[in-house]
Structure 1
Amino acid sequence: MYEVDGEMYFETREEYVEYSAKRWRKTGAEFEQQRVALGISVDKAAQEIGLSASTLRRFEKGAPVMRANVVKCAYTLLLNYTRLQREQSEITIDIKVSGAGGNIRIV
């Protein structure tokens, strides 16, 4: 492993994996925490993203996975989409109806 102009270069895959492992574990743990907080099973998340559950588990544990950047983007989209769906389902609108003296609650 060596550095040139601030860029890291690796002679072997093993060097790259060892160098990146801590960052991958942190990223995977953050995704897992968000998924669990939203109540999404690993099987459901993997299905929605289009991966096997074992690949998603490896990603969450910080192990190397093929196309990790694509997995990260797809996972981010799934989590954000789930949050937005839940926020929308919680929106209520109160409308005062003149003359009727009541409110209509739309959920």
Structure 2
Amino acid sequence: YWTGQVHPDHRAAGQAALDAYMPAKMPLYHPEQLAAADTALGKVERIFLFATDRDPDIYIDVASVYPQKEAATLAHESQFPKGTESIEWMRELDRNAGQVVGLAYAERFKEIRVW
């Protein structure tokens, strides 16, 4: 899971998603769920981890949507009570990630291919 993620609820949600990918494609886990209309087995081939201690190998250019990212972050008033001062860490993180691949801002992920 995300060793860099400090929120326990985020870690728990991430672990739950990782735990769910394999059973999602196995018909004997909960076959009754396949009886509903428009249902099929899941097909997960790749998982992307954010804020992990594993070396990232995917960098997404987020410069074109950065104003929206900042606005969405600032709308999270309970998490960012000091406004733009509270999100300077995010800008620095995204700038540093971008510098690695020659972009203004980037988000980085570790890709894990699963069977």
Shorter-chain TM-score category?
A: under 0.3
Q: Which has the higher helix share?
A: 1
TM-score by length of 2: 0.22
Task: Please identify the structure whose Cα radius of gyration is greater.
Answer: 1
TM-score by length of 1: 0.24
Which structure's relative contact order is higher, taking Cα pairs within 8 Å and 6+ residues apart? 2
